[in-house]
Structures are given as C-alpha cells and as structure tokens.
Amino acid sequence: MFSFFRRKRKFFTEPDQARIVEAIRHAEKRTSGEIRVFVESKCRYMDAIDRAAEIFFGLKMEKTDDRNAVLLYVAMKDHQLAVFADKGIYERMGQAYWHDEIKMMTGNFNKQNYADGIRQCVTDIGEALHHHFPFDNDTDKNELPDDIVFGH
C-alpha cells in the first residue's frame, strides 16, 4: 500500500531528546529564566537570527515576567543556528557572550554532536541565567514549556 503521508524526520534519538529536555529542566531549577529549543529542517530566512526572532515572538517568549527567556534555534539541513535572548538577559550578558555560545555549538555541530552541542549550550545559558536571574522559591514558576519544539 502506498502512503501519501510523509513521515516527519527525527533529528534526535529518544534518549538524546530526553537529555536535552532534562538539561532545560535542570537549568531552569536554578533560575527564574526560561529556555526553549526550536529545531527545524530548513531556515526560511537568510539570517537565522531573523528566524529565531520570529519564532521567539511566535511562541510568546517575550511575555515572561522578567523578560529573561532565551531561544536556541537550529535549522539542521541548512546548518544554521542562532540564540535569541529577550531584552532583560541580552543586555546583561552582552553580545560577546552569545557569540561565544554560538561558536561552542558550532564546534560540536562540526563533529556531528548536535544533541551534545545543544545540551551544552542549554547548560551554559542556565548558568548565566542563574547568575543574573537566580531562582526565588517564593515567586518563581515555570512560565514556558520545557519540551523541544520541532518545526518543518
């Protein structure tokens, strides 16, 4: 029998995906900040940061109380990636920090370590968020889902 439905390509194994989600949850236990990961096959824009911004606002990540959400964007087939941070955290960290994170992720990606690169970046961002936006047990809540968002 012929199927007209395309099977959605899996970018990560189930264990790799679980480790990425666990890294997000672990990072967010120490900060009021929020981290999301968005993975798709191709980037619809020349500049991945423009696509990351579109996704960031599409996911309403700017609605966090402290404006301290961060999106990791990866286009697997196009080999593009970006980190888009909301105003509150971007201003505190500065452009050099985000550039260094992209450089680290690119190094892992060049070795085909996609899940490890994402996980390490999530961990690093979690540390930075912990430093600038530490967790407050009385007021903090998980404002955004922790799961990986998959595009087309």
Measured N-to-C along each axis, helices 114-132 and 14-28 cross at an angle, to the nearest 10 degrees, of 10
Alpha carbon distance 145, 142 (integer Å): 7
Tens digit of pLDDT for each residue in 83-117? 999 988 888 888 888 888 888 888 878 777 889 99
7 found inside a domain: no
Confidence of residue 3 (pLDDT cuts 50, 70, 90): very low
Phi, psi of 9 (to 5 degrees): -70, 135
Q: What residue numbers bound the domain in which 66 lies?
A: 22-150
What is the average per-residue pLDDT within 5-22? 80
- pLDDT over 70, % of the chain: 94
90 found inside a domain: yes
Strands 34-40 and 149-150: what pairing? parallel
105 found inside a domain: yes
Alpha carbon distance 67, 75 (integer Å): 25
Confidence of residue 4 (pLDDT cuts 50, 70, 90): very low
* CATH at 39: 3.10.310.50
9 has a pLDDT exceeding 60: no
Tens digit of pLDDT for each residue in 33-65? 999 999 999 998 779 999 999 999 999 999 998
Name the residue among 87, 118, 93 with its Cα closest to residue 18. Answer: 118
16 found inside a domain: no
pTM above threshold 0.75: yes
Say what the alpha-carbon torsion angle 136, 85, 56, 102 is, to the nearest 10 degrees: -120
Domain total of the chain: 1
57 found inside a domain: yes
61 found inside a domain: yes
2 found inside a domain: no
55 found inside a domain: yes
Whether the Cβ atoms of residue 128 and residue 88 lie closer than 8 Å to each other? no
